[in-house]
């Protein structure tokens, strides 16, 4: 008997890291690693479920920056080159390790896996991964959520409603461009909510979003069912709260499944360990050592001592942990359903890149989870939030509190002494963009190009990733330089446009460098016309 539901939600996001100005770029490897280790393994896993006629339900957000990069011909070409290099290295490793006990089997595993990745990417989907997500969505197995244009941190923009609206509109337009339909739900970047966003979401036809647990638990009035059922804002937007218990079981560094000693160790990579002359062709052209994805050890314990990775053990643990996850959700649902007048829903959101990249066995775990749920007689089913809303439309009205899923639950990660300097610049460019959008109602073709590029630079400067990276202390120079570069490009465009002297050659150069959102319309920043120019 079905007593409740579980909704698995994966958030797939990377900042816009396309760099044609460099022959190779470490930040582009973020994308290539995510495609190789997370996105394609997840797609292949879902294809396997379809082939075996396993009914499943999964929800996934794919951000506009990621969609744009997955569809970019320049990045597709570079990814194929990256993949060829990875396969070449794995072939050398099969030879090098052939007499090394246990390690040789792992090397063969990587070689087989990388050839499968190439087959899925180049042949099965003809280098068009977005078509895979469209396919799963059209079959009713996957629900894809929209997201803000460049994953901007919206609560720190609520003094500029036109800026928030531009992010939402661009996000939804990009979704329609690549997925071919209107989204029902949206992933707010960093699960960061401010009440000022409600009327914008309603305006653009969004029915629901997912919030951090305390965003729902501290709502007014207090939610009757906590995070076990959605609430609906006074503006009519449903809100699903993240379940804390299931989050801890997967996310926690100490208690979560990914920390199991039999799982693959992420940080021991041959790119940092093998002889420099041997590994040189497979790292950065300037000699900087980087991850190659070939890792031969398991977590083993908390010390630096690591034992060889045994793939069979990792697979076995993934199945065990999937069973444990199901058991715990059954206990939750059995407990909650006894005091509710409708079936509870347990919402489990995670970063998609956790599965495969950070947690190598993550896609296997998810595969076991879907298969066990389908084949077992248990008290819950998998569901998407949109399906749940349609089945149980009677929802308590409550106002969620401002919140995020960042450290301490509010804005501290994105506003602190490491990154507070960026906001005076971001505020100024918003004011200048609004000024230009209102001033240039009938621009020349060249002015229109410059105005549209100014919006692109503004949106890219607003990416929450830059402030986040500055706070974490990794790649801080890159994050600061990206912010400065986009602000400086915007300011030059502003001066050129308002001064009546647009540098056409320079404009063409930055249109090529920052070519995201080809259908952008600068009028989204017009005070009178915000929201009018929906596609």
Q: Number of C-alpha atoms within 13 angstroms, CB side, residue 30? A: 16
Sign of CA dihedral 413, 415, 421, 423: positive
Whether the CB-CB separation of 350 and 251 falls below 8 Å is answered with yes
Active-site annotation holds for 190: yes
Task: Kindly name the residue from 44, 93, 165, 190 that is annotated as catalytic.
Answer: 190
Residues in the chain: 535
Query: CA 335, CA 120: separation in Å to the nearest integer?
Result: 42
Helix (H, G, I), strand (E, B), or coil: what is residue 212? coil
Active-site annotation holds for 312: no
Query: CA 201, CA 204: separation in Å to the nearest integer?
Result: 5
Q: Which residue has the tokens 């960061």?
A: 192
Structure tokens at 181: 């339909």
Whether the CB-CB separation of 79 and 29 falls below 8 Å is answered with no
Q: Identify the H or E element spanning 210.
A: strand 208-211
Contacts of 77 (CB under 8 A, 6+ apart): none
Query: CA 51, CA 62: separation in Å to the nearest integer?
Result: 24
Task: Kindly name the residue from 273, 351, 435, 511 that is annotated as catalytic.
Answer: 351
β-bridge pairing 208-211 and 185-187: parallel
Whether the CB-CB separation of 389 and 345 falls below 8 Å is answered with no
Q: Does the annotation place 405 within a ligand binding site?
A: yes
- How far is residue 483 from each of residues 49, 419, 466, measured CA to CA in Å? 42, 10, 7
Q: Does the annotation place 465 within a ligand binding site?
A: yes
Helix (H, G, I), strand (E, B), or coil: what is residue 36? helix
Taking the CB of residue 432, how many other CB atoms lie within 10 A of it? 20
Helix (H, G, I), strand (E, B), or coil: what is residue 295? coil
Whether the CB-CB separation of 55 and 372 falls below 8 Å is answered with no
64-87 burial, b at 16+ Cβ within 10 Å, e below that, comes to bbbbbbbbbeebbebbeebbeebb
- Give the residue ranges of the annotated binding site for substrate: 242, 259, 405, 465
Q: Hey, which residues are catalytic here?
A: 190, 351
- Give the residue ranges of the annotated binding site: 242, 259, 405, 465
């Amino acid at each position: 008997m079905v007593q409740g539901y579980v909704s698995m939600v994966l958030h797939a996001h990377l900042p816009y890291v396309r760099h044609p100005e460099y022959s190779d770029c470490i930040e582009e490897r973020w994308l290539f690693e995510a495609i190789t280790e997370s996105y394609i393994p997840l797609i292949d896993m879902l294809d396997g479920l379809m082939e075996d006629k396993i009914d499943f339900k999964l929800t996934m957000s794919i951000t506009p920056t990621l969609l744009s990069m997955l569809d970019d011909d320049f990045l597709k070409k570079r990814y194929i080159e990256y993949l060829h290099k990875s396969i070449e290295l794995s072939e050398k490793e099969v030879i090098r390790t052939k007499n090394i006990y246990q390690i040789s089997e792992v090397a063969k595993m990587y070689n087989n896996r990388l050839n499968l990745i190439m087959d899925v990417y180049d042949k099965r989907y003809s280098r068009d991964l977005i078509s895979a997500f469209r396919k799963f969505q059209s079959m009713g197995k996957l629900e894809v959520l929209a997201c803000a244009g460049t994953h901007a941190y919206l609560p720190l923009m609520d003094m500029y409603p036109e800026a928030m609206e531009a992010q939402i509109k661009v996000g939804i337009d990009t979704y329609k461009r690549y997925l071919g339909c209107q989204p029902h739900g949206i992933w707010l970047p960093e699960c960061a909510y401010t009440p000022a966003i409600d009327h914008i979401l309603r305006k653009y036809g969004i029915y629901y979003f997912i919030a951090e647990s305390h965003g729902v638990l501290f709502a007014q009035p207090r939610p009757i069912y906590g995070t076990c059922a959605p609430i609906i804002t006074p503006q009519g937007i449903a809100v699903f709260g993240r379940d804390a218990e299931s989050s801890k079981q997967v996310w926690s560094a100490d208690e979560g499944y990914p920390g199991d000693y039999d799982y693959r160790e992420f940080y021991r990579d041959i790119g940092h360990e093998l002889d420099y002359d041997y590994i040189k062709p497979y790292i950065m052209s300037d000699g900087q050592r980087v991850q190659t994805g070939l890792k031969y050890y398991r977590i083993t314990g908390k010390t630096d001592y690591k034992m060889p990775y045994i793939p069979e053990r990792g697979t076995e643990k993934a199945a065990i942990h999937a069973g444990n996850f199901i058991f715990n959700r059954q206990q939750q649902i059995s407990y909650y359903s006894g005091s509710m007048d409708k079936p509870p829903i347990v919402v489990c959101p995670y970063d998609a890149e956790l599965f495969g990249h950070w947690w190598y066995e993550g896609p296997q775990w998810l595969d076991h989870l879907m298969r066990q749920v389908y084949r077992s007689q248990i008290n819950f089913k998998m569901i998407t939030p949109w399906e749940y809303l349609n089945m149980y439309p009677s929802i308590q009205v409550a106002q969620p509190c401002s919140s995020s899923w960042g450290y301490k639950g509010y804005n501290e990660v994105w506003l602190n002494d490491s990154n507070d300097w960026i906001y005076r610049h971001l505020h100024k460019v918003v004011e200048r963009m609004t000024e230009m959008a209102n001033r240039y109602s009938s621009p020349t073709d060249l002015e229109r190009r410059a105005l549209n590029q100014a919006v692109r630079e503004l949106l890219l400067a607003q990416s929450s990733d830059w402030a986040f990276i500055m706070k974490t202390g990794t790649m801080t120079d890159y994050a600061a330089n990206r912010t400065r570069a986009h602000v400086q490009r915007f300011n030059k465009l502003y001066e050129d446009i308002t001064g009546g002297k647009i540098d056409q050659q320079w404009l063409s150069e930055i249109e090529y460098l920052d070519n995201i959102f080809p259908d952008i319309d600068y009028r989204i920043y017009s005070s009178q016309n915000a929201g009018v120019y929906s596609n």
